[in-house]
Amino acid sequence: MLILLIATAASALAAAHISSSDVVQFTADPIPAYADQHFASFTVTRVQLAEILDSYREVSGEVWRHRYAHVQGGDRTGTIFLKNGQKLKWLVRPGGLATLTGSDGVTHYLARELPRPNHAMQRTAACPHA
């Protein structure tokens, strides 16, 4: 059990700190026919994914899902292989969001910018509905 935990932690750590120089193979999935036509020209190239890997910041899944505006219908997906042999599925959304998911099922959530403070969540006793 301990060995599995250590291996999972090592895998998660490896995915969290990858850079474009770690990528040896890049594949982009075809754009689905049901994709929003507004984003028909939105593609992700190897160069663009490299920029994302080198500049986006990792955030928690909770923050990624609830503190950013998600653009529906524009997701682009694909696969990368790293020098260490690890395979990662990538997802990029218009507006500066991305994920990397390893074969172990661990997903790393990436954002171009850190979220702004959510004032609605910063309630006080004097103003509980702020």
Residue 34 has pLDDT above 80, yes or no: no
pLDDT attached to residue 39: 78
Q: Report pLDDT digits (tens) over 5-22.
A: 333 333 443 445 788 999
Between CA 10 and CA 33 the distance in angstroms is: 37
Q: Report yes or no on 99 lying in a domain.
A: yes
User: Given this model, what pLDDT does residue 4 score?
Assistant: 32
Closest CA to 75 of 39, 109, 45, 49: 39
Residue 45 belongs to a domain: yes
The Cα 30–Cα 51 span in angstroms is 21
Range of the domain at 43: 2-121
- At 125, give phi and psi (nearest 5°): -60, -35
What's the number of domains the chain is made of?
Answer: 1
Structural domain includes residue 126:
no
Question: Residue 97: pLDDT above 80?
Answer: yes
